[in-house]
Amino acid sequence: MKNQKIFILSGLIPALLLVLAFTYYPFLRGIIMAFQDYKLFDLRHVRFVGFDNFKAAFHDPKFLVALKNSGYWVFFSLIFQFVLGLSLALLLKKPFRGRGIFQGFAFYSWALSGFLIGMIWKWMFNSQIGVINDLLLRVGIIHERIGFLSNPKWAMTSVIIANVWYGIAFFAIMLLAALQSVPSELYEAADMDGATGIRKLWNVTLPYILPTIIATTLLRAIWIFNDPTIIYGLTNGGPAGSTHILSSLMLDKIIYAGDYGAASAIGVIMIVLLLLYTIFFLTVTKAEKVGDF
């Protein structure tokens, strides 16, 4: 028994210590910074300022735009990633010749960095020599070039398109695995009842994979909300702050402005929103076991 205790401790301590010291400690310190005037270029005047950073944020038009954008960003990225990912998973469920190779080409975006994907799409969206403008002109859908990233009317849509492209594979991979775990007896029973394809999908497949759908969507929404890399690579929030989401604005304030207090305040607001979202989501879906993994 004593041996076992030693084994448990020695197995856990390295992981726990590192995570506590270099994830949770700086994280908590970041939360404290949200209540401080903390600027990298003025470290001698660090002091507590109560809720000033939060007040400043809500008076900052850039923040309000980023708040609204975060909503669009998560909602539309998620909907399109999910619908396309699910369709793809359903079509890939039955084996066909070349499926393995197809999956290789269909899922590789997973292995790329959001930053590089942002860069590649920035090149394709270029308003002068971008290939997307060229293609749309050739086909005749548009008659003059569109400033996909330079026109604030288009910029957010363009950024979301790139993000959808990036994330379909994630949903497809997760949902495909779930689909393949549906026991075939369920389909046999449905066949005996004379169910058609769509009915089987609606009555057998979807209910069976619902827990995976719920868990995947919940997690994915949070990751999309938190991840600024694609936006950083594509527009870095521009033009004029019109494509910042909360996380990219926070990053901007850390890397470029060195205003740690303001950045942390945005971070704390993000945590509050995430909490509200998670509670809302779990209540609506009544999924008690989702958080289990």
Q: According to CB under 8 A, which one of 79, 134, 199, 202 is a site residue for another protein?
A: 134
Q: Is 282 in the site for another protein (CB under 8 A)?
A: no
Residue 60 token pair: 């900052």
Q: Is 264 in the site for another protein (CB under 8 A)?
A: yes
Type and span of the H or E element at 37: strand 36-37
Q: According to CB under 8 A, which one of 27, 48, 202, 280 is a site residue for another protein?
A: 27
Give residues 231-260 in contact with another protein (rule: CB under 8 A). Answer: 232, 247, 250-251, 254-255, 260
Q: What is the DSSP letter of 35?
A: T
Q: Is 219 in the site for another protein (CB under 8 A)?
A: yes
Q: Is 274 in the site for another protein (CB under 8 A)?
A: yes
- Per-residue binding letters, 28-47, with another protein (x by CB under 8 A): -xxx-x----x-x-------
**Neighbour-count burial for 140-178, b at 16+ CB within 10 Å, e otherwise:** eeeeebbbbbbeeebbbebbbbbbbbbbbbbbbbbbbeb
48 beta partners: 36
The bridge status of strand 47-48 relative to strand 36-37 is antiparallel
Taking each helix axis as running N to C, give the angle between helix 260-285 and helix 61-92, from 0 to 180 degrees, rounded to the nearest 10.
Answer: 40
Give residues 89-128 in contact with another protein (rule: CB under 8 A). Answer: 91, 100, 102-117, 119-121, 123-124
Cis peptide before 61 (omega within 30 of 0): no
Q: According to CB under 8 A, which one of 59, 61, 185, 293 is a site residue for another protein?
A: 293
Q: According to CB under 8 A, which one of 70, 158, 229, 235 is a site residue for another protein?
A: 229
Q: According to CB under 8 A, which one of 167, 228, 237, 241 is a site residue for another protein?
A: 228
